[in-house]
Amino acid sequence: MNWWQFIQDVLGTEASTRWQGVRVQKVVVSRRRRVWQIHLQMSQPVPREELSAVESALTAQVDNLKEVTLLPQLTERPRVFRTILQQRKDELSSYLFPTSDVSGLTGVEWVVNDDIELVVNSRQRWERLMEDDICSRMADWFKQEYGIYVLVKCTCTEPLPAPGSPDFRSTDVVPEMKGKVNFISAKFISKPVRKHRKKGERQDNRQVVGEPIPISQVEEGMRQAVVEGEIVEIEKRSLKENRRLSTYYLTDYHDTLMVKHFYDAGQEESIVVGDWLRMQGSVRYDEFEKETVLFLQAWQAVEPPVRQDRAAEKRVELHAHTVMSTLDGVTRIHALIERAAAWG
């Protein structure tokens, strides 16, 4: 299909030369939602305004069609990204740092392939960029300006502090454990005791939007991942400029995820070990942890899942120890009866 000629017929006017050479890769049609997704193969980017104009014109041409979305697929992503960064670097810097005291993108090295990697040589600068959510916001800028999806990473070349130095911190991490979690501190292999607060003591962050996914499905590059589980360990650090960093280990007892939260020193941190939380944030590879990390944007307390017996044929257990037994037992009789009744 001659896409350039096609959109000229649809728009009724002369189309931009940017559309020349564009090919339709595939069209995905959803009858139920009345939506078309048109994947376009192109060698140069088209501004978002032109994409939106064509989308609106196509939508108006088809009866009962709710929406048309154009999805550009670049054939030369590295070249296009380098050109955009070279020509619009000042605009991008103003978008990312409108009021920040960080000196824009000065001193940042760009490594451009199919994705974009920002390389800095200062750990303090890297932590500040992470705090400003630089990777997700830069990816959003490309989507807003050109409708392009790109994965942005940020790494630091400054060596980690040597063991024994004041800035060094170690994490007691154990290897994969069958049937439990992939990594947690050895002292939390058994389920920790839940700490109870007084009524009204908890203060949740802003409301989490979206349904949680299993931690095992979390992938680098997710901008708004939602996960749910129990906090099994917390690490806290003081940073420069009166800032703090809390690192949480969240497990759903199938896998475990490291979660980082940057905040001002004056803010109270109300999360404790044993809390069952739903957390939301962007997921990126952390160069210092050598691990995929969720950078916290929102969280809220939720009720932990109740253990259930889902077997089609119920199993009958004829042996149990309670606190009434002369042998070691920790189960109270009323709790045992209530659990048996709940399982049917």
- The pTM of the full predicted model, rounded to 2 decimals, is 0.51
Q: What separation in angstroms does the CA of 54 have from each of 45, 148, 157, 195, 344?
A: 14, 16, 44, 57, 59
Domain boundaries of the chain, sorted by first residue: 3-74, 77-156, 206-301, 313-344
Rounded to an integer, what distance in angstroms lies between the CA atom of residue 73 and that of residue 76? Answer: 9
Q: What is the mean pLDDT of residues 220-234?
A: 90
* One-letter amino acid of 146: Y
Q: Which two tokens stand for residue 53?
A: 């104009």
Q: Is 37 helix (H, G, I), strand (E, B) or coil?
A: strand
Helix, coil or strand: residue 233: strand
Q: Please, which pLDDT band fits residue 84 given cuts at 50, 70 and 90?
A: very high
Question: What pLDDT sits at residue 228?
Answer: 94
Q: Identify the pLDDT of residue 183.
A: 34
Mean pLDDT (whole number) for 293-305: 90
The token pair at 25 is: 């890769």
C-alpha span between 85 and 48 (Å, rounded): 17
Report percent pLDDT > 90 for the chain. Answer: 18
How far apart CA 205 and CA 302 sit, in angstroms, is 13
Question: Is the confidence at residue 332, as pLDDT, over 80?
Answer: no
Query: Higher-confidence residue: 100 or 290?
Result: 290
Is 77-156 the same fold as 3-74? yes
| pLDDT at 193 (0 to 100) | 42
CB atoms within 10 A of CB 127: 21
pLDDT digits 0-9 by tens, 110-156? 899 888 988 888 888 888 888 888 888 888 899 899 999 888 888 88
- pLDDT tens digit sequence for 20-55: 888 888 888 887 778 888 989 999 999 999 899 888
**Higher pLDDT, residue 323 or 315:** 315
Q: What is the mean pLDDT of the chain?
A: 78
pLDDT at 163: 60
What percentage of the chain exceeds 70 in pLDDT?
A: 77
Q: Is the pLDDT of residue 184 over 50?
A: no
pLDDT category of residue 327 using cuts at 50, 70 and 90? low
- Mean of pLDDT values over 2-25: 78
Per-residue model confidence (pLDDT) at position 330? 65
Q: Show the CA angle centred on residue 23, arms to residues 20 and 24, nearest 5°.
A: 140
C-alpha angle with apex 152: 93 to 45, nearest 5 degrees?
75
State whether CATH 3.90.1720 applies to domain 3-74. no
Q: Which of 145, 152, 146, 2 is nearest to 74 (CA)?
A: 146
Query: Is 2.60.40.180 the CATH number for 206-301?
Result: no
CB atoms near residue 82 (< 10 Å): 14
Architecture of domain 77-156: 2-Layer Sandwich (3.30)
